[in-house]
Amino acid sequence: MTDEDLDRRLDAGVPILHAAGRLALDFFQRRGDLVIEHKGLQDLVSIADQTVERAIRDELTRLFPHDAIIGEEDGAAAGFAEAPGVWVIDPIDGTSNFLRGMPYWCCVMAYVVDGTTEIGLTYDPIHDEMFACRRGRGATRNRQPIEVSKRPVAEACVGLSFNFKQDASEYAEMVARLNARSFDHRRSGSSALHLCHVADGRLDGAINRHCMSWDVLAGLALVEAAGGVATHYTKGASLIEPRAVLATTPALREVVEEAAGFTLDP
């Protein structure tokens, strides 16, 4: 995979994700008409998720027919690991927020080569913010450079994620540790946006004790590109296995790891 190959994918990925986000926003504005299904306890999916994912898949397949695709809704094709690169997509991260009319959700794409995220893209259609990174070339929001915060522990705020696949008592113990260290925290409903907001300094860390690659690959890469530290997903799981992840500023790494109860990498 050459630099030119990666440039082509980044240049194509931004408009693809932007179009997908505008499609998702149209669904959001008429969400009362959507058919909703339950994948599990407090785990919802709608025709919007499915339609947006298929729109992304169709464009990626047309432009890069030899690349593999993993998506939250339609999964992965057999043999994806043998492809030159893999697109990992979450059509709507924060579906529960989306369906409730809460404006904290986004559309996500990452491009992975040999287990390394080379491109990370996250689009927030509500605020028209496109977060992008190419490994080794910094991170941007709407093409303007971004970087992680320099706040001390006493002023820090971390984003937390919870779902019912996690152990609720372990999550509660983590919150207690954060409270004991006077860490402010938010649980806003989108792991992907939490990571973007770590990268641009709105948050100072993000912890997710149980997630899938499509939730976080783009954001973890973005945080690193913005000068932060983050879990390398494939050092602890494959692209289709769940794991715990965190991301934060270099100065806060030790205390965030201690509060989370696990380290960046196993």
State both tokens at 10: 């980044």
Q: What single DSSP character describes residue 10?
A: H
Say which range, 27-36, 87-96, 224-233, has the weakest mean pLDDT. 27-36
The mean pLDDT value for 98-115 works out to: 95
User: What mean pLDDT do residues 137-153 have?
Assistant: 97
| Pairwise CA distance, residues 83 & 64, whole Å | 11
* Tokens describing residue 197: 């907001």
Q: Confidence class of residue 41 from pLDDT cuts 50, 70 and 90?
A: very low
Q: Give me the residues paired with residue 184 across strands.
A: 157
Residues with Cβ within 8 Å of 3's Cβ and at least 6 positions away in sequence, in order, are none
pLDDT greater than 70 at residue 12: yes
CATH topology of domain 153-260: D-Maltodextrin-Binding Protein; domain 2 (3.40.190)
Q: Report whether pLDDT(240) > 70.
A: yes
Domain spans of the chain, in order of start: 3-145, 153-260
Question: Is the CA virtual torsion 246, 248, 253, 256 positive or negative?
Answer: negative
Q: 45: pLDDT confidence band, cut at 50, 70 and 90? A: low
pLDDT at 49: 86
What does the mean pLDDT of the chain come to? 91
Considering only the top CATH level, what class is 3-145?
A: alpha beta
pLDDT for residue 62: 97
